[in-house]
Structure 1
Amino acid sequence: MTKITNSKFFRLNVVTSLMCLIPLLIGAVFYNQLPDSIPVHFNIYNQPDNYASKSFALFGIPLILLLLQIVCCAVVNSDPKQMNATPQLQYISRFIIPILGIMTQCLIILYVLNDGINVGKVITVVLGIIFLLIGNYLPKCKQNYTIGIRLPWTLADEVNWRKTHRMAGILMVALSILIIIISLAGYEIWTFAILAIAVITPCIYSYTLFKKGKK
C-alpha cells in the first residue's frame, strides 16, 4: 500500500485549506446580485427556516469552515498512527469540508437567484457518494486515533478494530447506495435515520465483540 509522505501531507493540507477560500470568491462575484438576507438552513420540505446577513453567509461561514479545516488537518497530523489510515481515507477526510463548503455556497446562491432548486436533495446525494467512498476504504484502515470507528475497545484490540471496520464498511456502502436512491426518489427525509443506523450499528457490534472477548 502506497503511503503519503509528510511533505505530501503538508501540500495536501495547504491545497485543501486554500480550497476553503473558493466560496469567498464565489460570494464576491455574486454579492451585488443577492438580497441583504440569505437563507443558510433549509427544512425537510426544502424551505428556508434560518437566514443570515449577506456578508456573514457569503464570507463569515466560509471563514469558519476554513478555521475548522485547519483544526482538522492539525488534529490528523498530530496522530502518531496517521500512516495506518489508507491514503484514500486520508485524502477523503481532508477534502470533505472544502467540497461541502463550495457546494453549499453554490447551492444557496442558486436557490436565491433561481428559486426551485432542491438544496436538500443535492446535499444528501453528495453525502451518499462521500459515505460510499468512505465505506469502500474503511475495511482497509488500520488502528489510528483520528480516522475510523475510534472506540476504547477498537483502539485496545486490533482484532476488534479489524472486524468492526470490515462490517462497518459493508454496511456503509449498502446504506450509502440506499441514501442516494431515496434522495433521488424524493425521500431524503429518511437520510438522517439511515445515517444514525450507519453510526450506531458498528458501535453496538464492536461492543458485543468486546463483551464476548472478556468471557
Structure 2
Amino acid sequence: MRLSIGEILSWLSILAAAAASLYYAPNLPSRIATHFDIEGRPNGWMDKNSALIFGPAMAVGLYILLSVLIYLASSERGELRLDENSAKMMQTIKGLVVFLVAAVHIGILWHAVGVLKEPLSSIIVPISLMFAYIGWAITKAKRNWLMGVRLPWTLVDERAWRVGNLIMGWGLVVCAVLNLTGLFLPKLWFWILTVTLAAAVSLSVVASYIVYRSGPNATAR
C-alpha cells in the first residue's frame, strides 16, 4: 500500500523527535525549560527524563488520535462523511501537526544545550506551513464533522459552509504569512497572530450565520 505524504511526514517527524532525544540526552542538564512566555523567557520546567520522553510521546499520541478520527470520519455513512479527497488533506494536516510537535521538542532541546537562545524561531515556519495548508484545505473540503468551520448552521447549509470556510481558510493563510513576523518581531508576533486569528474566526462565524439566516434552511423566528 502506498503511503500518503501525511503518513511519511508523521513517521519522519516522530523518528526525528526520538533521535533528537537520544542524541542530546548525554548533554542535557537535569532540569530543562519546556515552557516559555510570549517573549521567549522560560516559565516552566521538567526534569530531564520527562522532557526527553514527553515530546516523542505527544507526537505519537496525536498521530494515533488523528488517525482514529480520520478513520471514523471516513467511515461515516451520512452526508457529513469525510470524502476521499478531504481524507487525503486531513492526512497531510495530521503530518503537519506531528511535524510541529517534533519541531517544538527539538527546539526545546536546542535551547537546553545552548544552540538557541529561545525556541520560538524553530517553530515559526512549521506553524506557518500548518496554518497555510489547513487554510487552503478547508476551502476545498465538503461538509463533514471533522475539518472546517463546523457550526450548527454550517453543517446543515451548504452556502453557509462555503462562506464560513472560505473566510476562515483565507484568514488562516493570512495568519500563516503574518506569523513569519515572529522571525524578526518576536515581541509583537503573538499579538499580531492572535488579533488576526480572532478576526478570521469572528468574520467566519458572523458571515456564515448571516448567509444561513438568509437561506431556506433558517428556522422561522
> 5+ residue gaps in structure 1?
1-6
Alignment of 1:1-215 (within 5 A): 13=7, 16=10, 19-79=13-73, 80=76, 81-83=81-83, 85-86=85-86, 89-114=89-114, 116-181=116-181, 183-186=183-186, 187-190=188-191, 191-213=193-215, 214=218
RMSD: 2.6
Give ranges in structure 2 of 5+ residues lacking alignment.
Answer: none
| Per-residue CA distance 1:51-99 (angstroms, 9 max, x = gap) | 0011111113321331222011101110122226546622332112320
Shift of 1:135: 1.8
Tell me, yes or no, if the aligned pair for 1:139 and 1:165 is still in contact at 8 Å. yes
Identity of aligned residues (%): 22
Task: Provide the rounded CA distance (Å) in 2 between the counterparts of 1:68 and 1:208.
Answer: 35
Partner SS state of residue 20, structure 1: helix
**1:39 counterpart SS class:** strand
- Asked if the contact 1:85/1:144 (under 8 Å) is kept, the reply is no
More off after superposition, 118-127 vs 140-149: 118-127
| TM-score under structure 1 length normalisation | 0.83
Describe the SS at the equivalent of 1:51: strand
Q: Structure 1: which 4+ aligned runs deviate by more than 6 Å?
A: none
Q: Residue 84 of structure 1 contacts residue 144 of structure 1 at CA under 8 Å; is this kept in 2?
A: no
SS of structure 1 residue aligned to 2:145 = coil
Q: Aligned-pair distance for 1:9?
A: 7.2
d(CA) in 2 for partners of 1:76, 1:184 = 37
In 1, the alpha carbon distance for the partners of 2:15 and 2:29 equals: 22
TM-score where L is the length of structure 2: 0.81
- Report how many aligned residue pairs link the two structures: 209
